[in-house]
């Protein structure tokens, strides 16, 4: 029962005249394949032509394509990887995005059949499916527009659902395919210069794989690859371009909240520094930041769903390993570490504690000094900024830090030496930084207050190694002020570098990497993903507020006036490159005259001497209360 086909006409033409049964078509296709091996390629070429045809298919063409695909599914054992090269290329070149669901189903059936029939097709099938994570690049603009509409979203779900269920089907037949899949997905991951919608879609697929059936096998490496990509994007965002010449106006030191609604701000240089405008200034048009933002939104949402399904701890363990390998060692990563912050916020008891104990371990017994200093900077920043960390836990961690520093300085009998004892100084700075944020909440609990008093902090600060002189002056100053006000420690009054953000000595211990001014969990500046971080974040103004509230009841004392002088010194507008000493003199003049008034707006004083790595101003904006 042969089927005569006029050689010059396409198969399509003949379809109008003849009708085939399934088995006839099976037979025809098998013959075409076998004949091609022998060298007779006519029917074979027609078959290839049908597969290639993809532009605007009318229903008959769709039906023909589907029946050909189905017939090929049955004939995979006749296929030969070399002799049927062009047919295989045509099949693997098809993109699910271009067709309707019927053709998609037929195509994935064929892929499953191919993958199961011979080992040589497995990689090719998996690669084709991975390519279908994103729409075909040849019509990318069309699809980017389409995906903004609901029917585009539908299409995306149709394609991706089929892709992932096909992975599962292939894995059922070829158990080792997830191993190959893992490698293929990693190798084909788009680089950071890919357009945003594509890279976001690819990462979305990786996260689907992580939470899918094969998650146990491939999930770990998916997460690691995603963290690597986040870091890659992070380091591409340049802070230094944006920073002013005078480092004391370093913008990352600033903490901004929504100042909208307070139009009577003291304006500095005519700049109204709302968070929005600052973000715009940084990231307006910065594509890399936009990509990072979108990917972080995806990651945060994924963590949320992991937490919901009870998998967060396993996921966190993988993230923690990746953190130690890439984030901790990256030079001042800006936003990628917030993945850890958010994960800890979802489960402070387990993940939070795991995170802290890992950091403490690295600080106490790590190998490389830079990593140890980095770890303690992360620790300090985390304990200070995480709203969900209990004061008792903060106190306990502080105690272990203090003990280490105490043991360390007992073994030293030398004098001040920033470079030699940089790990010690970074530990001291961490302790002071945490206490600046948390002193209030710790001493308000009597048990913790006595625990704090028992810690050997005074001994450390008075030691000949003189940490108070070496650590970052802005932190030391704030710490001393708070200590005095709360009458906790008796610490030396004399302090030279008032109003300075940094000093020679702090630069010396910080080293080239400037680990003395590294505060990894400083306020978050990416727009879309901010909503995940904000509710769990402690802004300096919130803490500062609590200190001021008490003071309004007390009568003005010398201390207060002294502070007022300093605070006002903050307010003084600093033009670029002004000498610090001039401002200091000016502030001294003012000290005795101007009464302290904490309730008036100190708005917009962001520029100028930043005392703490944050804005020091009693914020009256709603969120901080």
Partner 1 sequence: MEGLKESEANLVVYLHPSMAKCVNDAILRELSSLLFTYSETFDGVVLAYDPNVRSNLAKILPGIHPYLGVRLKAKLLLFSPKPNMLLEGEVVKISRQSIHAVILGFSSAVIADEDIRDEFKYKVKHGKEVFVSRHHKKHKIKVGTMIRFLVKSFDEEILHISGSLVAVHTGCARWLDANLEEWSQADSTTRKRKGRDEKEQKTPDDKMMANREMPSLKKDDRIKKLKKKRKEHT
Residues that bind partner 1 (CB under 8 A): 74-77, 113, 116-120, 122-123, 172-176, 179-180
Q: Do 49 and 11 meet the contact criterion of CB atoms below 8 Å apart? A: yes
> What six digits make up the tokens of 514?
């400037």
Integer angstrom CA distances of residue 14 from 20, 52, 54, 622: 11, 18, 19, 75
193: left (phi over 0), alpha (psi -120 to 50) or beta: alpha
Min separation Cβ 89 and partner 1, Å: 20
Tokens 């669901």, residue? Answer: 101
Q: Do 516 and 507 meet the contact criterion of CB atoms below 8 Å apart? A: yes
Min separation Cβ 75 and partner 1, Å: 8
Nearer to partner 1, 22 or 269 (CB): 22
> What six digits make up the tokens of 29?
């296709």
Residue 515 exposure: Cα atoms within 13 Å on the Cβ side:
28
Nearer to partner 1, 29 or 298 (CB): 29
Q: Do 555 and 587 meet the contact criterion of CB atoms below 8 Å apart? A: no
Residue 612's DSSP bridge partners are: 614
Min separation Cβ 321 and partner 1, Å: 15
Min separation Cβ 28 and partner 1, Å: 15
Min separation Cβ 228 and partner 1, Å: 21
Min separation Cβ 79 and partner 1, Å: 11
Nearer to partner 1, 35 or 508 (CB): 35
Nearer to partner 1, 178 or 510 (CB): 178
Min separation Cβ 162 and partner 1, Å: 18
398 exposure class (CB count in 10 Å sphere: 0-12, 13-18, 19+): buried
CB atoms within 10 A of CB 176: 11
Nearer to partner 1, 9 or 172 (CB): 172
Min separation Cβ 29 and partner 1, Å: 12
Tokens 């009568």, residue? Answer: 555
Nearer to partner 1, 94 or 112 (CB): 112
The torsion of the CA quartet 401, 402, 403, 405, rounded to 10 degrees, works out to: 90
Min separation Cβ 31 and partner 1, Å: 15
Nearer to partner 1, 116 or 430 (CB): 116
Nearer to partner 1, 74 or 100 (CB): 74
Nearer to partner 1, 186 or 265 (CB): 186
Nearer to partner 1, 77 or 450 (CB): 77
Q: Do 243 and 250 meet the contact criterion of CB atoms below 8 Å apart? A: yes
Min separation Cβ 99 and partner 1, Å: 23
Complete DSSP assignment for 305-333: HHHHTT-HHHHHHHHHHHIIIIITTSTT-
Q: What is the distance between the alpha carbons of residues 578 and 276, in angstroms, rounded to a whole number? A: 27
Question: Which helix H or strand E contains 323, and what residues bound it?
Answer: none
Min separation Cβ 177 and partner 1, Å: 8
Buried b (16+ CB within 10 A) or exposed e, 404-431: bbbebbeeeeeeebbeebbbbbbbbbbb
Residue 527's DSSP bridge partners are: none
Nearer to partner 1, 123 or 236 (CB): 123
Q: What is the distance between the alpha carbons of residues 293 and 529, in angstroms, rounded to a whole number? A: 6
CB atoms within 10 A of CB 469: 18
Integer angstrom CA distances of residue 187 from 96, 281, 592, 604: 21, 35, 67, 48
């Amino acid at each position: 029962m042969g089927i005569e086909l006029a050689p010059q006409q396409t198969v399509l033409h003949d379809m109008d005249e003849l009708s085939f049964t399934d088995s006839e078509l099976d037979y025809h296709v098998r013959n075409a394949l076998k004949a091609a091996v022998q060298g007779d390629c006519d029917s074979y070429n027609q078959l290839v032509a049908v597969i290639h045809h993809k532009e605007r298919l009318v229903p008959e063409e769709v039906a023909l394509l589907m029946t050909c695909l189905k017939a090929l599914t049955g004939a995979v054992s006749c296929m030969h990887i070399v002799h049927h090269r062009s047919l295989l290329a045509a099949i693997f070149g098809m993109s699910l995005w271009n067709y309707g669901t019927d053709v998609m189903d037929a195509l994935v059936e064929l892929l499953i059949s191919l993958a199961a029939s011979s080992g040589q097709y497995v990689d090719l099938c998996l690669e084709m499916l991975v390519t279908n994570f994103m729409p075909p690049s040849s019509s990318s603009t069309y699809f980017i527009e389409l995906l903004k509409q609901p029917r585009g979203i539908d299409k995306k779900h149709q394609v991706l659902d089929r892709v992932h269920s096909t992975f599962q089907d292939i894995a059922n037949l070829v158990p080792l395919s997830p191993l190959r899949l893992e490698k293929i997905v990693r190798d084909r991951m788009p680089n950071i210069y890919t357009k945003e919608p594509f890279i976001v879609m690819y990462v979305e697929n990786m996260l689907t794989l992580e939470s899918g059936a094969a998650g146990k096998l491939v999930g770990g490496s998916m997460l690691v690859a995603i963290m690597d990509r986040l870091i890659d994007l992070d380091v591409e965002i340049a802070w230094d371009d944006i920073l002013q010449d005078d480092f004391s106006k370093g913008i990352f030191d600033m903490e901004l909240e929504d100042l909208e609604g307070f139009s009577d701000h003291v304006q500095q240089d005519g700049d109204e520094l709302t968070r929005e405008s600052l973000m715009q200034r940084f990231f307006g048009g910065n594509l890399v930041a936009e990509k990072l933002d979108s990917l972080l939104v995806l990651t945060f949402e994924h963590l949320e769903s992991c937490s919901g399904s009870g998998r967060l701890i396993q996921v966190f363990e993988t993230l923690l390993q990746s953190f130690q390998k890439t984030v901790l060692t990256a030079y001042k990563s800006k936003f990628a570490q917030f993945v850890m912050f958010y994960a800890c916020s979802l489960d402070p008891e387990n993940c939070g504690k795991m995170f802290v104990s890992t950091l403490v371990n690295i600080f106490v017994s790590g190998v490389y000094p830079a990593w140890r200093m980095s770890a303690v900077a992360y620790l300090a920043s985390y304990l200070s900024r995480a709203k969900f960390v209990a004061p008792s836990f903060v106190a306990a961690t502080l105690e272990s830090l203090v003990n280490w520093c105490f043991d360390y300085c007992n073994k030293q009998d030398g004098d001040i030496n920033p470079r030699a004892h940089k790990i010690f100084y970074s530990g001291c700075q961490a302790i002071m930084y945490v206490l600046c944020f948390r002193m209030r909440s710790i001493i308000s609990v009597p048990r913790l207050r006595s625990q704090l008093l028992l810690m050997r902090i005074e001994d450390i600060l008075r030691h000949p190694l003189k940490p108070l002189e070496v650590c970052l002056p802005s932190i030391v100053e704030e710490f001393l002020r708070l200590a005095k006000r709360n009458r906790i420690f008796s610490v030396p009054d004399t302090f030279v570098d008032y109003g300075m953000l940094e000093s020679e000595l702090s630069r010396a211990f910080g080293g080239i990497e400037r680990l003395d001014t590294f505060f990894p969990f400083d306020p978050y500046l990416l727009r879309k993903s901010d909503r995940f971080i904000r509710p769990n974040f402690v802004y300096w103004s919130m803490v500062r507020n609590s200190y001021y509230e008490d003071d309004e009841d007390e009568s003005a004392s010398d201390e207060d006036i002294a502070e007022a002088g300093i605070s006002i010194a903050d307010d003084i507008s600093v033009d670029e490159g002004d000498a610090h000493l001039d401002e200091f003199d000016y502030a001294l003049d003012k000290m005795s005259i101007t009464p302290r008034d904490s309730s008036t707006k100190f708005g917009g004083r962001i520029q100028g001497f930043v005392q703490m790595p944050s804005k020091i101003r009693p914020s009256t904006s709603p969120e901080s209360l």
